[in-house]
Each structure stands twice: as structure tokens, then as C-alpha cells.
Amino acid sequence: MQYIFMNWLPNSPYKLDNRPHFNSLGEAYKYNHPNSEEDIYIPIKLKTS
């Protein structure tokens, strides 16, 4: 999530929308393991000039 908020989002044509965001930890999630997987849902909207 750090990469999304610190790198991807600021350099994208999107901005964070004021709605809830969450993540889902399924069977592929392994705490602090480099091969861990999770789904992240972040509300975004296009930046406007």
C-alpha cells in the first residue's frame, strides 16, 4: 500500500476519492512474506484541473 499511496497515485491521473477503502486477505496472504497476496480496494477519481 505504501507504493500505491507514495508512488503510483501521485504520478497517476487519479486522486483519492472520499469513500472507504479496504483490503481483503485471502488464502494467499502470508504475514510479512514476500510472496504474500492481498486485494486492495482504493476509491479513486480523475484529477481535475
> What is this structure's pTM?
0.66
**What's the CA gap between 15 and 34, in Å, rounded?**
28
**pLDDT (0 to 100) of residue 42:** 93
**pLDDT (0 to 100) of residue 39:** 87
Q: Residues 38, 29: contact at Cβ < 8 Å?
A: yes
Exposed, middle or buried by CB within 10 Å (0-12, 13-18, 19+), for 49? exposed
- 49 pLDDT higher than 70: no
pLDDT tens for 6-44 read 999 999 999 999 999 888 888 888 888 888 888 889 999
Which is more confident, 49 or 2?
2
**pLDDT (0 to 100) of residue 45:** 96
